[in-house]
Chains A and B, each alone.
Chain A
C-alpha cells in the first residue's frame, strides 16, 4: 500500500524506532522566539549542554515586540527582559537572531518562508502552535512546548508518537470575495475544535490547488484551531516558484526539486479519515463565539443556544453569548465593531495587505472604529511601502504599524479594552485573547477591510 504525504515525510525522518516506544524524529529546522525559549536555554545551561545544530536553528523576536517606537527601548520592563534574555541566549549559544529593527525580524512563521528556509519534505518545529503554517510547503511542521524546545536544542530530535492522517478534500471554485480564511473557518466550524485531534490534516482538492502560497499558509496555520497539530499541502509548481530566488533556496535547486516532486500522497494510500467540503457553496465566514469552531456565514444570525441539542455545546454557546454581549437572532452584519485588526501569522502577509488595501483604496474607514494594520514581518512592511499600500491604509484613516504578533494575543501594548469588540484577521477568539474582557470576531482580510468602512461586520459585496 502507498503512503500519504505526511507518512512519507515521517518515515524519512526516523532516527530510531522500537516497538512500544515513540519514534525518534529528526528535526530539519528549529525556529525560536522569546516567549517559549528562556526556560529551555536555562535547562541547557543547568545540564551543561550545547545547542547541537546552531546551523539548523534561527531566532526572531515577535510576541512581545512593540509596533510603535521600535527605535526606542521596549517600555514594558518584563517584556524587555524577555527579549534581552533571548538576545543573550542566542549570543551565548551561537544562534542566528533577527532582532527588532532588522529587516528580517517579524512573526516567526512569516520569516521562515520569506527567507526560503521553509521547504518541502522538511520537519519544522517551533515553540508556537501556529508552526503548522509551514505545512503549506509540504513540510511536516508543528508546535512544541518548552521542554521539547530544550530537547530539540540539545539533540535536534524529538520522540514522537506517529500521528493519524486525515484528508480534507475541498473541491470546487470559490466565489468572488471568498478566501482561504473562509475555507479554514468553515472547516473548523464543521469538524469542531477537537475534530483534528491526533491527526495530521492534508488539505487537498481543486480549491486548495487554486490557492496562492499565502492562501495555503492561512489554511495550514489554523489546523491547530481544528485540534490538529499539523496540516500539509502537497507541493507543486507554485511552491517551487515561491522558493526559487529566496535567500535560502537550495544552491543545487534541481537536486532538491527532483526530491520535492516525490512529495505527494500515493494513489493507493489510505487516510484514517476523509472529509469533504464544497468550495462552490462557501460564503465569507465569521465567528460569533469564544472558540474558533463557533463560526457561521456572514449572512447568518447569532445562533439561539436553546436550539442546540448537544448539552455541552449548548452550555458553551450560552456562556459565549454572555461573554460576547450578543443576543440570539441578531444578524451578524448588524454587529458594530470598535477595532479592526489586520495582521498576524494567519493573515499578515503581503497578499493579505494587498487584498485589504484594494477594498480600502480611495475610501475612509468609519469614524466609529480604529483600524490597526500590522505587517507580519519587517520585510512585508518594506514590500508594502514599495507598493504604496501604506499610503492607502493611512489615507483611509488606518494606523500603519511595525511588524509582530501584536493584537493577535496582546502581549505587547496592542490590546482591546474591556468590552471592546474587534474584527480580527488573527486565529483565536478565546475569552480575553486580545486583551482582558475583549471580544473577538475572526474574519478574512476582505471582511476586515469592508467592516472598517461600514462599521459593522460586512463583506466587500455590501459596499
Chain B
C-alpha cells in the first residue's frame, strides 16, 4: 500500500447525500477479477449527464472528492474504493461515511476525512467559487487546509500510523500467529466446521 502523509490537490464538489456504492460503481462493473481499471465505472450513470461535476472541465483533474453526508452506503464492494483510486482520487471528505466503505478506504489507502457538515459547506462554497483552490489534506497534522482556512479532523493513532507507513494489515496480523494458535487451541469443539458431512 502506498504511504499517505500529505496530499495537495484540487477539490470536486459532490453536493449529494447518501451516495451509495451502487452509484459509485454499479454492479455490472463488479464482474472483473482484477483490482484495476474500474475508473470507467465510477459514477457511470451520472457521468451520462454533461452537467455532472466530473464532466465539467474545471473539476476534471480534482483529486479530493468533497461529498455530502452518508457517503458510501450500501454494499461492501471494495470496488467502490478502487474506482475512486483508479480515477485519481486520493482523499474523500464528508461529514459521515458508511462503516464498511470507510473500513475499506482506510485499508486501501484512500483517506476518508470526517469534518462537520458546516465545514463541508464552506469547502463547497470555496471550490465552486474558484475550482483551482488548492486543498491540502495533511494526515500527519490531521488537518484539511485551503486558502487561509484550517480544519482539524480526527483519526485514531493506530490507523494514522498504518496509513503513514503504508503497512499491510495481513503482515501485521501474521506477527500474532502465536496468539491465534493459542486462541484456536481453546475453541469449543461443538463449533461447526464446513467439511462435508458424511452420512
Contact = CB atoms under 8 A, between A and B. Distances in A.
Interface stretch (A32-40, A204-212, A363-371, A450-458): A32-40
Nearest to B107: A147
A267 interface: no
B23 A198 contact: no
A119 interface: yes
Contacts of A21: 158
Interface in B23-64: 23, 26-28, 30-35, 45
Contact of A197 (B30, B98, B107, B177): B98
Contacts, number: 211
Nearest to A119: B192
B100 interface: yes
Interface in B69-96: 69-70, 73-79, 81, 96
Nearest to A153: B170
Contacts of B180: 15, 24, 26, 52, 155-157
A148 B18 contact: no
If over half of B's interface residues share one DSSP class (helix, strand or loop), that class is named, otherwise mixed; here it is loop
Interface string A39-66: 1001100010100101111100001100
* Interface core residue of A28, A150, A194, A253 (most chain B CB under 10 Å): A194
Contacts of A319: 16
A147 B169 contact: yes
Contacts of A333: none
Contacts of B79: 146
Given A55-B195, A145-B78, A428-B22, A24 B179 contact: yes
A135 interface: no
A52 B177 CA distance: 11
Contacts of B23: 430-432
Interface stretch (B3-11, B129-137, B139-147, B182-190): B182-190
A145 B69 contact: no
B17 A411 contact: no
A419 interface: no
B118 interface: no
Interface residues of B, number: 62
Interface string A197-240: 11000000000000000000000000010011100000000000
A145 B96 contact: no
* Interface core residue of A38, A39, A256 (most chain B CB under 10 Å): A39
Interface residues of A, number: 87
Contacts of A411: 27-28, 30-31
A29 B173 contact: no
A82 B31 contact: yes
Nearest to A41: B33
A432 B176 contact: no
Counting from the closest, the 6 A-B pairs by CB-CB distance are: A145-B104, A145-B78, A38-B33, A143-B76, A250-B190, A256-B190
24 contacts: A15-B183, A16-B176, A22-B158, A24-B176, A55-B193, A79-B31, A82-B31, A122-B191, A127-B76, A129-B75, A147-B169, A148-B104, A151-B170, A151-B173, A154-B173, A159-B169, A159-B172, A197-B99, A224-B74, A250-B192, A411-B28, A411-B30, A431-B22, A432-B45
Interface of B: 15-18, 20, 22-23, 26-28, 30-35, 45, 68-70, 73-79, 81, 96, 98-100, 103-104, 107-108, 156-158, 169-170, 172-174, 176-177, 179-180, 183-184, 187-197, 199
